[in-house]
Structures are given as C-alpha cells and as structure tokens.
C-alpha cells in the first residue's frame, strides 16, 4: 500500500510511515489477555470475547488474543505478497496471514499485490516488452506513474517476479528478489487448504480488497469476484477462516450482502476520508467513524475495525506516544474487535522513544512498543515480523 495524500487520503498501511520509509509510497485463547484501565492484570475472557464478536466454534473466538497477523506474510524477511512470504509467516507461527491485497488483471483475475501499481514490487521495469505499458493514472485522487495490474493479462503478470518494496529498510530481503511470481487469489485459497492439511490445524487468511471504487468504475468490481471464489472453495460462511477487509466502508457493506465471512473496516488517519465517501459526497472523515455513533454503524455490517496504531495511541510532534484514546473501549462497547496496523522492527517505523540508533534498517526496542500497544486492550495486531510479535505476546500474557 503506497503512501497516499490528497483530500481523500486513500486508506493505507503506509500512511503512518515517516518520509522515505515507505517506498513509492485459536483454539487456545492463550490465557485470553484483557487489561484493565491500569494496564495491569490478566483476566478471562479475552478482549475478543469481551467485545462479543465470537462466531462460535471455529470462528473468530478460536484465535489467540492478542492475535498476531502476518502483514503481507512475513514481509520483514521476504518480499511481500509472495508465497514465500506467506509460507514463512506460518513457519514463524503467525495466527493469521494477510495473504492478499487483491487487485484485478485486465482479464478479470484477482492477484496479490500491495497496489495495482507494480513498478516498486516487481521486476516489470526490466521487461522491455512492457515498456510501453508505463503510464500515468489518477488513483483515488493521486497521480501515479508506473505499471498497473489492470493493464496486464494474468499470463503477462506471471512472467514477472516479485522484488523487495523498501530495500533501504530491508536490504537483506533483496537477496530474494526474482525468486517468486505474483500469486493469484485462487492459488492462495488452494495454498491455504494445502497448509491446513500439512500442519494439521486451520490456517487463516486476511485478504484486503484494494481500491474497490476505482476498480468498479473500470468494470472490474472486486466484491463479486471475491465472493465467487470464496463460495467455490466453501469459505464464504461466518465461521470461515477468511477475514475480509477494506478501507472503503461501502465495499464492506457490499460484501456483507454477498458472503457471511467476518468483515473488518480499515481506518486511516483521523482527518482522512475513505475514497468511497469522497466519490459519493459523504462528508464524514475517519474521525467521525471512530465516534461511538460511527462505531455502532460499522457494527451493523462488520465484526471489526483495523485502525492505524495512531488512532489507538497518538504520537506527539516528536513522534513519541501520548495518552491512548478511548477507541478500544468504544469499539468493544459496540461489539467490534480491533486489529490495528502495523508493527515493524525497524527504527523508522517505531515511536521515537523505542528507536535505537539512526540506521534505517536497524532494529529498535519493538518489544517495548508491543507492550505499550497490547496494554490498551487491542485484540491483535498486524506485524511484518510475526516471530517478534509472538514473543511479545508471550511476554504480555505471562506478565
């Protein structure tokens, strides 16, 4: 998800990154940790249960709390949105793998890419046969120049290979540039089944629908395509191990009419507006959506929210954490779980007080950051480093 700006401020997990950091751009409840106002004692039931969002046997309540979600796989160690990254996330113990930021091809297939613009995540620039496809487009109010998935057939995209998106922060990941192709959502669903059989436990995935309004206007609506594939694979029910997410509330509302899956509304910075709101003239901002009234409305069609970490604990002008907001309490009161984004080990992505040194690829005190965020009572977190997240959860649960 590339850095975004403009009036609509397209929702993005990179919108919280410092300048230059983003490239272009359950069966056991694990002690079910719930922190009281003082951020102290562990108790039962867990936050997800307290939020009243369990979906019964095999559903959301079967996930550990706090849930560790492998952000685009184990993207701290492998180029994101590749089967290699997804596989490593499972190997490292992630409870859920965010397998799929879903964007369409020209011939209507869904593929897994961070954004439809693929100049920063594939080797397309090294393919002279595609030089003529480079173009400039207006994507959710932002002018972008590059190569876009909707201008390629699936067969053409399969000739490309994935590369590391933020090599300045993750030079070690460039070792794997060119190793993996772009996976389709169909391949991810099959991979999920294979891994579930192989590991003897249910593998969960957490795909995101990217820019649904933009693609619907191109005649490439995402929701119906996702629903069709989920139905075909028998993964369209309320207990299905597939959580669907989008930064556009109307996309989640549409999905709510098509499938029974757990649904999550992603929320960017407080002053931003979801792009579907911009398109329809809805004046509300994210700040309106995180009020008790806004959360109650979201709870009428979704089971959770995926807020930026800054909506949970704002940062001051120096980048240090301040006082937590009431969002966790308010969301739980509305019956919603919270899976905020994104924790990363590297210094530039951490609150200032947890940075150690100035190197862009050096690790800071991410365990301290986990403690601070877990103490707010969140139900889980997206992380590029699932192994670190699991250790942090172990520390948290064991007090």
Mean pLDDT score, 251-263:
98
Mean per-residue pLDDT of the chain = 89
Phi, psi of 249 (to 5 degrees): -55, -35
Question: Does residue 12 surpass a pLDDT of 70?
Answer: no
Q: Measured between alpha carbons, how far is residue 126 from residues 122, 159, 178, 289, 388 in Å?
A: 9, 11, 11, 43, 35
Residue-wise pLDDT for 191-227, tens only, equals 999 999 999 999 999 999 999 999 999 999 999 999 9
Report the DSSP pairing between strands 135-139 and 101-104: unpaired
Cis bond before residue 290 (omega within 30° of 0): no
- Mapped onto helix, strand or coil, the DSSP state of residue 211 is coil
Q: Measured between alpha carbons, how far is residue 125 from residues 19, 117, 122, 133, 134 in Å?
A: 24, 12, 8, 10, 9
Model pLDDT, residue 88 = 98
Question: Does residue 23 surpass a pLDDT of 90?
Answer: no
The band of 11, judged by pLDDT with boundaries at 50, 70 and 90, is low
Measuring CA to CA, which residue among 366, 375, 321, 322 is closest to residue 348? 366
Handedness of CA 35, 73, 112, 173 (dihedral sign): positive
Percentages of the chain per state (helix, strand, coil), in multiples of 5 = 35, 15, 50
Model pLDDT, residue 399 = 86
Within its chain, how far is the Cα of 106 from the centroid? Answer: 24
Mean pLDDT score, 378-393:
98
CA angle 44, 49, 55 (to 5 degrees): 145
> What is the percentage of the chain residues whose pLDDT exceeds 70?
85
Q: How many CA atoms lie within 13 A of 130 on its CB side?
A: 22
Question: Does residue 65 surpass a pLDDT of 50?
Answer: yes
> What is the percentage of the chain residues whose pLDDT exceeds 90?
84
Within its chain, how far is the Cα of 207 from the centroid? Answer: 8
Contact criterion met (CB below 8 Å) for 99 and 64:
no
Annotate 259-297 with b (16+ C-beta within 10 A) or e (fewer): bebbbbbbbbbbebbbbbbbbeeeeebbeebbeeebbeb
Question: Does residue 356 surpass a pLDDT of 50?
Answer: yes
Which stretches does DSSP call E strand in the chain?
67-70, 96-97, 101-104, 110-112, 135-139, 142-146, 204-205, 208-209, 244-246, 263-267, 304-307, 337-338, 380-383
Distance CA 61, CA 363 (A): 33
Cβ-based neighbours of 372, under 8 Å, separated by 6 or more:
313, 321, 351
Mean pLDDT score, 48-65:
59
Question: Does residue 152 surpass a pLDDT of 90?
Answer: yes
User: How does DSSP assign 5-63, residue by residue?
Assistant: -TTTT---TTTTSPTTTSTT---S-TT-----TTS----SS-HHHHTT---STTSGGGS
Model pLDDT, residue 130 = 98
Question: Does residue 123 surpass a pLDDT of 70?
Answer: yes
Residue-wise pLDDT for 71-112, tens only, equals 999 999 999 999 999 999 999 999 999 999 999 999 999 999
Cβ-based neighbours of 228, under 8 Å, separated by 6 or more:
none
Contact criterion met (CB below 8 Å) for 109 and 184:
yes
Neighbours of 143 (CB within 10 A): 9
The band of 36, judged by pLDDT with boundaries at 50, 70 and 90, is very low
Distance CA 78, CA 26 (A): 25
More confident residue, 28 or 238: 238
Question: Does residue 349 surpass a pLDDT of 60?
Answer: yes
Cis bond before residue 167 (omega within 30° of 0): no
More confident residue, 160 or 17: 160
Measuring CA to CA, which residue among 25, 15, 16 is closest to residue 116? 25
Neighbours of 335 (CB within 10 A): 18
Question: Does residue 39 surpass a pLDDT of 90?
Answer: no
Contact criterion met (CB below 8 Å) for 333 and 50:
no
Question: Does residue 126 surpass a pLDDT of 90?
Answer: yes
């Amino acid at each position: 998800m590339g850095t975004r700006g403009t009036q609509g401020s397209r929702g993005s997990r990179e919108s919280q990154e410092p300048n230059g950091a983003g490239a272009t751009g359950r069966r056991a409840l694990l002690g079910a940790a719930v922190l009281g106002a003082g951020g102290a004692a562990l108790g039962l039931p867990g936050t997800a249960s307290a939020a009243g969002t369990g979906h019964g046997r095999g559903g959301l309540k079967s996930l550990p709390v706090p849930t560790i979600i492998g952000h685009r796989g184990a993207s701290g160690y492998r180029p994101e949105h590749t089967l290699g990254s997804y596989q490593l996330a499972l190997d490292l113990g992630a409870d859920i793998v965010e397998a799929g930021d879903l964007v369409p091809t020209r011939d209507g297939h869904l593929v897994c890419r961070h954004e439809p613009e693929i100049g920063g995540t594939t080797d397309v620039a090294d393919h002279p046969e595609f030089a003529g496809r480079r173009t400039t487009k207006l994507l959710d109010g932002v002018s972008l120049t590059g190569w876009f998935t909707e201008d390629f057939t699936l067969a053409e995209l399969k000739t490309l290979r994935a590369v590391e998106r933020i090599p300045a922060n993750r030079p070690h990941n460039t070792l794997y540039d060119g190793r993996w192709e772009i996976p389709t959502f169909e391949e991810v669903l099959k991979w999920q089944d294979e891994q579930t059989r192989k590991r003897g436990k249910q593998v969960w995935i957490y795909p995101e629908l990217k820019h649904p309004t933009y693609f619907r206007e191109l005649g490439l609506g995402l929701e119906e395509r996702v629903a069709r594939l989920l139905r075909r694979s028998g993964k369209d029910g309320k207990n299905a191990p597939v959580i669907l997410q989008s930064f556009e509330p109307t996309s989640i509302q549409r999905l709510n009419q098509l499938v029974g899956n757990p649904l999550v509304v992603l929320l960017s910075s407080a002053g931003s507006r979801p792009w579907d709101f911009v398109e329809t003239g809805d004046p509300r901002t994210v700040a309106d959506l995180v009020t008790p009234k806004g959360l109650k409305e979201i709870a009428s069609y979704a089971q959770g929210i995926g807020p930026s970490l800054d909506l949970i604990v704002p940062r001051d002008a120096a980048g240090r954490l301040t006082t937590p907001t009431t969002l966790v309490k308010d969301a739980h009161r509305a019956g919603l779980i919270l899976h905020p984004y994104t924790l990363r080990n590297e210094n530039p992505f951490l609150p200032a007080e947890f940075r150690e040194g100035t190197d862009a690829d050096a690790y800071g005190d991410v365990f301290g950051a986990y403690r601070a965020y877990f103490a707010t009572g969140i139900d889980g977190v997206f992380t590029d480093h699932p192994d670190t997240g699991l250790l942090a959860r172990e520390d948290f649960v064991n007090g």
